[in-house]
Amino acid sequence: MNKNLKKWLAGVIIAITCGIIAGFIYDLNSDSNSVFTTGIAIIFGIFVNLLYGWLSSEPEQNHIRNIRNTAERDQKDLEKPHKITPSIDIKNSPNILPYAIKQFCIKNYHAIIKTHIKDLPVDTQWIFLTGENGFGKTLFLRALVLGLYGKRDKQIVLTDEQCSIEVEFKNNTENQINSSGEPVQFVNFAGYGPSRLVVQSSKLGNNKEEEKSAITYSLFNNDGILLNIETELGRWFFNPKFKGKYKKVKEILLKMLPDITDINVAEDGKTILYTEKESAGTSNVFGDLPFNKLASGHQSIIAMVGDMIVRLLERQEVDQDIDDPSGLSGIVIIDELDLHLHPKMQKEMPILLSKIFPKVQFIVSTHSVIPLMGAPEGSIFLKVSRDITKGIEVEKIDIDIANLLPNSILTSPLFGLESILSGQNKDFFKLWTEHDYNEIESEEKRNKKLKEIAQKGDQFPKEFFEPEDD
């Protein structure tokens, strides 16, 4: 039954009851007709109840109407194709990239109801994306690809949703706005999902963009197969025309792999061998290993960076030969940059990739604070959040991390960690607050020495009370 009708009926019953009681009381104290008096009391009570019900329900009805009108407007707004306003470049920088995202608006894509970020500078080489598990980082990266490239990758349907995704980006000398890959499908990009250890067999002789090696496949599926840089290295090695390219790509891979001292083509002319050294700073080597015998961290770097080089070369060598991959440009999207990598390498990845590909914009997600410690100056930080009413949203976090330690970044809005204390800590006052572990070891040695001196009853040496030299 309607809530307001229930109120009205209850009021009528109360009015009738009160009328009968009033008539009965009046009858005890008067010789008048109590029936007439009771009737008048009941009618008056019902009138008062109706008046009160109308006055009290009107604000509620207005509130309901407002909610319905707002919902209808929001729905109509979501159904309308959104036309983002072109931005104006006001920043004159020598580091402006050939290709760079300037703004995006995503509507009705899975759990993204509507999110819009604008005013991204065109000299920003790195855009980092953070957010908790399941909050929509991968979904956002896929939406960017749909906006740039479209809803189909050759014969593969990437989505059949009636979504609206617009991306404004710098396309060389032009300012372009794509709506789900139209009017011009943007191809100077590469996308990588979390699974990036499998490469095409070098026995095929040539890299082929088949279904599982398509430009978008890795970001939308877990069984992607990357293009194989080893196939190209073998081909370039035996062709004098490509000796320069072979040398440059080999140098790039060695920069990306600090524990690899050399890369060579085996005697069979088909296998690429990697010479592993004991550790950085030593000359001791373990021997030559093929790709499938390397650690997963090394495989991941070779596969992804190699695929990046092959893919961008293929698209940009149409009119000219490019011997040095540092001349390549485009937009590269990487989901979970930190995957398979030791913290040392997590920090180095943004630094190395920036130097090797100075004309490429990188848009990456990460669960780790360490890659942000290698973020170049001018990096942009985005964070995804999720709300049952608003859905998944992306916000820009304005934060300068240049002078922040990992604990400060972890507890900042970027990661939102509430506490950095170890779960094993039982005494807050025993926490070490030194900058690094070397300081802790030095302090522990000093405390041990002081304890030994105190136990012997000796005088404390003067050097314990003098400041150490910097």
Residue 422 falls inside a structural domain: no
Residue 310 falls inside a structural domain: yes
The span from the CA of 368 to the CA of 350, in Å, is 13
Residue 404 falls inside a structural domain: no
Is residue 268 domain-shared with residue 332, that is, in the same domain? yes
Kindly state the helix (H) or strand (E) to which residue 294 belongs, with its residue range.
none
Q: What are the C-alpha distances in Å from 352 to residues 39, 98, 291, 300, 342?
A: 93, 19, 21, 15, 15
pLDDT of residue 67: 45
The span from the CA of 413 to the CA of 279, in Å, is 37
pLDDT of residue 11: 60
Is residue 103 domain-shared with residue 74, that is, in the same domain? no
How would residue 425 be classed by pLDDT, with cut points 50, 70 and 90? confident
Picking from 44, 43, 54, the residue whose alpha carbon sits closest to that of residue 7 is 54
pLDDT of residue 78: 47
Is residue 139 domain-shared with residue 193, that is, in the same domain? yes
Is residue 170 domain-shared with residue 25, that is, in the same domain? no
Please give the residue range of the domain that contains residue 456.
Answer: 432-465
Kindly state the helix (H) or strand (E) to which residue 306 belongs, with its residue range.
helix 296-316
DSSP notation for 392-414: EEEEE-----TT--HHHHHTSTT
Residue 405 falls inside a structural domain: no
Residue 426 falls inside a structural domain: no
- Tell me the one-letter amino acid at 388: I
Q: Which residues of 116-153 are buried (b: 16+ CB within 10 A; e: fewer)?
A: ebeebbbbbbbbbbbbeeebbbbbbbbbbbbbbbbbbb
pLDDT of residue 140: 96
Q: Quick: pLDDT tens for 317-357.
A: 665 667 888 899 999 999 999 999 999 999 999 999 999 99
Is residue 128 domain-shared with residue 10, that is, in the same domain? no
Q: Name the DSSP class of 111.
A: T
What is the tally of structural domains in the chain?
3
Is residue 33 domain-shared with residue 163, that is, in the same domain? no
Residue at a domain's end among 376, 398, 420? 398
Is residue 351 domain-shared with residue 300, that is, in the same domain? yes
Is residue 207 domain-shared with residue 283, that is, in the same domain? yes
Residue 344 falls inside a structural domain: yes
Residue at a domain's end among 79, 107, 134? 79
Strands 126-130 and 359-365: parallel
| Neighbouring-strand partners of residue 288 | 275
Q: Say if residue 176's pLDDT is above 70.
A: yes
Is residue 366 domain-shared with residue 438, that is, in the same domain? no
Residue 91 falls inside a structural domain: no
Is residue 112 domain-shared with residue 29, that is, in the same domain? no
Picking from 37, 50, 39, the residue whose alpha carbon sits closest to that of residue 8 is 50
Instruction: Give burial (CB, 10 Å; 0-12/13-18/19+) of 397.
Output: middle
Residue 241 falls inside a structural domain: yes
Query: Computed from CA positions of residues 69, 72, 78, 84, in that sequence, does the dihedral angle turn out positive or negative?
Result: negative
The span from the CA of 224 to the CA of 431, in Å, is 45
Is residue 147 domain-shared with residue 296, that is, in the same domain? yes
> Which CATH number do you get for residue 317?
3.40.50.300
How would residue 99 be classed by pLDDT, with cut points 50, 70 and 90? very high
Is residue 193 domain-shared with residue 257, that is, in the same domain? yes
Alpha carbon 136 to its chain centroid, in Å, reads: 8
Between residues 44 and 114, the one the model is more confident about: 114
pLDDT of residue 94: 74
Residue at a domain's end among 372, 398, 424? 398
- Tell me the one-letter amino acid at 37: T
- Tell me the one-letter amino acid at 16: I
The span from the CA of 135 to the CA of 131, in Å, is 6
